[in-house]
Structure 1
Amino acid sequence: MKKKLNIPKTFFGFLTASVFFWLLINLSKEYNTEVEYDVEYTQLSLQKTLISTPLKKITLVLKSSGYNLFAANLAHKPIQLDLNRAAKKKGNDYFFLSKNLLPEIQSQLKSGIQLLRVKQDSIPLKIGTLSSKKIPLKADLNITFQLGYDFSKPINIVPDSIVVSGDESYLDSLDFLNLEKVVLENLSENTNITAPVIFPKDVHLKTDNESVKIQISVDKFTEGEIEVPVFVKNAPKGINIFPKKVKIIYKVGLKNFNEITPDLFKVECDYLQSVNNEVNYLTPKLKSFPDLATLIRVVPDKIDFLTYE
């Protein structure tokens, strides 16, 4: 049978008191230690912009009591650096020399904490000229439809472009911005979704539109067939063609089926092309057709002809 261990409550009291006094003694001593601080960059000119993301944190070597250093590690305000004091290197390259920042940083530390040095020797920056540009947006869609369904019209991005502010030289080379990829499965009805704009990493760009709407129009499709006349380009006098009309086979959404009429199609043959290719038939080509129709096929694909002198 195990013997029960009885520890007096006074023991825990003395133990707690001992630890408490040990902490007080040690926290009252002075130490040198490294503390990581967040950095905020201030006083940027209205005509300027930060091109790339500068250092977000710097490491300060501090001297103070253990208590002050412990408190500084737990919570502290970000260090603010005045961009007007940054030195220019060349072009858009600027920098802060850390040893020159000591008085500015020391003034932002809590009383009783001495700044010995900044661990980073320098803080590099890229500062450019601020400009604005309207940038088109591109959707990235991966959509599957239920059987018989498809797009009834092209997708609509609202807005289809956004005004972006940033470095002038960077914006000059920026032709478009992508939207985050959208995956939709078994679609069978109109759908509106919100898609965030993808901005380049480590490049400072500002805009009022970080996301846009994508309108997807869907309809059930059916096959249609219509007859249209054939026109012959560069035809000699007296040419006779057969057949004079061709069938257009197409797919169209049910909602728009009655909108499809023969005058919306134009089929043309080029007589000179047949002569140059030394063939005795004409090739009908679809020159115009309605946006509502897809998967278009012309029947027949050859037109016979006779010419009379």
Structure 2
Amino acid sequence: MAIIKLSATERRRLSVFFTCLSLAVIAWIFTTLSDPIPYTVREVLTFKNAPQKRAFHSLQPDTVDVTIKGTGWQMLFSKMNGDGKPITVDLHTLENRNYVVLSTQLKQINAGKEGVSQILAIDPDTLYFDFSNRLVKKVPVQLVSGVSYQKQFAISGNITVRPAYVTVSGPAERLKEITSWKTDSLKLSGINETVNTRVNLSPSNEGNLSVYPKSVQAIIPVDEFTEKTLDIPVKLINNNYADVKVFPQKIKVTFTTSLNRYPDMDEDLFEAVADLDLWRDKGYTMLPVKLIRVPPFCKIVKVEPANIDFIIKK
């Protein structure tokens, strides 16, 4: 195969040719992409000025095909970056009819858009809605959680949810069935301190049902726990006799409590009873002790003795 050798002058000419060709192609692409052209994208709808006395449910998806007049650059970037700001539709006309014509709002919609691109048409152009009587109801928030704690740590108080109630609006018949509103699941592990976080509410799957606010603050008090032992007096119930002696008169109760509440734990917070009817009706020779009052967030470890003796003097 013969190898053609180019002179320096020919190589310079060839280099200049390809350089000019490249610049011409770049200029053509730049000019073409700078010209305004119509193109279609999918965009999400959001609503404002919703009717206050009518619950509504959209009868079509919340995305529409939008024909936009813009440059080729804008079309290219819209494909690369996806759609940005959603289209906001004004629903004030739903106060007296069940549809909204989007073409009548194009001027308003375009005024709210950023950049020089303009919407030419929206498909579908008419949005239809289903209506029913609208009511508002406040219901308590139900925190859904799965929390595990570090060893010797546990929940030490009542969980606080702020706000404790949320406002649900929608059809009257549907609101009758709603008695509470759940949050998304709060899952935490290895916790050794109080949790203070925001949790989203479970979203509504129904277009004509809305909830406000969309999130709540959840506070879960957490503390380290330790054991404590107290002597608790035993009270005799169903005692119809003048003189009954129990042995021992006090029992030792070992329980776990948070370190913050440890100094405040005393025998007045507990109540232990023994039922004399168990001897009279069932022939018990020893009476089992039952704790009928225990401070919240305390866990009983052991009770000694679990049964007591008694003597009845007639």
Look up the match of 1:83.
91
Look up the match of 2:203.
200
Q: Give the Cα separation in 1 of the matches to 2:282 and 2:4.
A: 108
TM-superposed CA distance for 1:58, in Å, is 0.5
Structure 2 unaligned segments of length 5 or more: list them.
Answer: 111-115
Q: Give the Cα separation in 1 of the matches to 2:259 and 2:32.
A: 85
Q: Give the Cα separation in 2 of the matches to 1:306 and 1:280.
A: 10
Aligned counterparts, 1:135-214, within 5 A: 135-138=140-143, 140-146=145-151, 148-151=152-155, 153-157=156-160, 159=162, 161-167=164-170, 169=172, 172=176, 173-178=178-183, 180-185=185-190, 187=192, 190-202=193-205, 204-207=210-213, 210-214=215-219
TM-superposed CA distance for 1:80, in Å, is 4.7
Distance change (3 Å), C-alpha of 1:229 and 1:212 = same
Residues 228, 248 of structure 1: 8 Å contact kept: no
Look up the match of 2:113.
none
TM-superposed CA distance for 1:161, in Å, is 0.6
TM-superposed CA distance for 1:181, in Å, is 1.4
TM-superposed CA distance for 1:157, in Å, is 1.7
Q: Which of 27, 41, 54 is matched with 2:47 structurally?
A: 41
Q: Give the Cα separation in 2 of the matches to 1:287 and 1:302.
A: 15
Distance change (3 Å), C-alpha of 1:295 and 1:261 = same
Distance change (3 Å), C-alpha of 1:39 and 1:270 = same
Q: Give the Cα separation in 2 of the matches to 1:30 and 1:279.
A: 96
Look up the match of 1:221.
226
Look up the match of 1:282.
287
Distance change (3 Å), C-alpha of 1:123 and 1:243 = same
Q: Give the Cα separation in 2 of the matches to 1:184 and 1:112.
A: 51
TM-superposed CA distance for 1:201, in Å, is 4.3
Q: Give the Cα separation in 2 of the matches to 1:58 and 1:83.
A: 16
Task: Give the TM-score, by structure 2 length.
Answer: 0.67
Aligned residue type for 2:197 = T
TM-superposed CA distance for 1:272, in Å, is 2.4
Q: Give the Cα separation in 1 of the matches to 2:242 and 2:154.
A: 45
SS in 2 for 1:200: coil
Aligned counterparts, 1:47-66, within 5 A: 47-48=53-54, 55-60=61-66
TM-superposed CA distance for 1:252, in Å, is 2.9
Look up the match of 1:303.
308
Residues 51, 94 of structure 2: 8 Å contact kept: no
Q: Give the Cα separation in 2 of the matches to 1:76 and 1:242.
A: 79
Instruction: Give % identity.
Output: 14
Q: Give the Cα separation in 1 of the matches to 2:86 and 2:295.
A: 61
Q: Give the Cα separation in 2 of the matches to 1:141 and 1:2.
A: 78
- Indicate the RMSD between aligned Cα atoms, in angstroms: 4.6
Task: Give the TM-score, by structure 1 length.
Answer: 0.68
Look up the match of 1:268.
273
- The alignment of Structure 1 onto Structure 2 pairs a total of residues equal to 291
Structure 1 unaligned segments of length 5 or more: list them.
Answer: none
